[in-house]
């Protein structure tokens, strides 16, 4: 029997997938690195939900779950900084008003 928490995590994963696809499509169209960085952030959320399911099932230890989450979190943050830096040099800010 599937637990309500597993079901809730699966719903969260399913809800994020179309958002991920939308940002990935935007990245393919415009090649703005921030869109790709947002894709990685959404992937981090998907990973968090997946690792939650795996913890509930006991298929992954708490130490490895935390290590994977923290490593993915740091890589996502570094990727965002790099994307902002790259985007500022590649794209002009059309919202700046100046």
Is residue 29 one of the residues assigned to a domain?
A: yes
Q: Work out the percent of the chain whose per-residue pLDDT is above 70.
A: 94
Q: How many domains does the chain have?
A: 1
DSSP code per residue over 5-23: HHHHHHHHHHHHHHHHHHH
Is residue 82 one of the residues assigned to a domain?
A: yes
**pTM over the 0.75 mark:** yes
Which residues have a Cβ under 8 Å from the Cβ of 90 and sit 6 or more positions away?
A: 32, 33
Q: Could you tell me the residue range of the domain that residue 28 belongs to?
A: 4-90
Residue 90's CB: how many other CB atoms inside 10 A? 11
Is residue 44 one of the residues assigned to a domain?
A: yes
Residue 76 has pLDDT above 90, yes or no: yes
Q: What is the pLDDT of residue 77?
A: 95
Contact 1, 52 (CB under 8 A): no
> Residue 44 and residue 28: Cα distance in Å, rounded?
20
Q: What is the pLDDT of residue 15?
A: 96
Residue 98 has pLDDT above 50, yes or no: no
Is residue 97 one of the residues assigned to a domain?
A: no
- Tens of pLDDT, residue by residue over 15-57, are 999 999 999 999 999 988 999 999 999 999 999 999 988 888 8
> Residue 46 and residue 51: Cα distance in Å, rounded?
9
Is residue 95 one of the residues assigned to a domain?
A: no
Is residue 96 one of the residues assigned to a domain?
A: no
């Amino acid at each position: 029997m599937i637990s309500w928490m597993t079901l809730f995590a699966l719903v969260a994963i399913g809800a994020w997938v179309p958002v991920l696809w939308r940002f990935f499509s935007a990245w393919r169209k415009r090649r703005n690195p921030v869109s790709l960085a947002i894709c990685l952030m959404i992937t981090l959320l998907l990973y968090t939900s997946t690792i939650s399911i795996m913890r509930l099932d006991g298929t992954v230890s708490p130490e490895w779950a935390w290590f994977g989450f923290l490593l993915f979190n740091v890589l996502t943050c570094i990727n965002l900084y790099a994307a902002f830096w790259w985007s500022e040099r590649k794209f002009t800010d059309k919202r700046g008003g100046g």
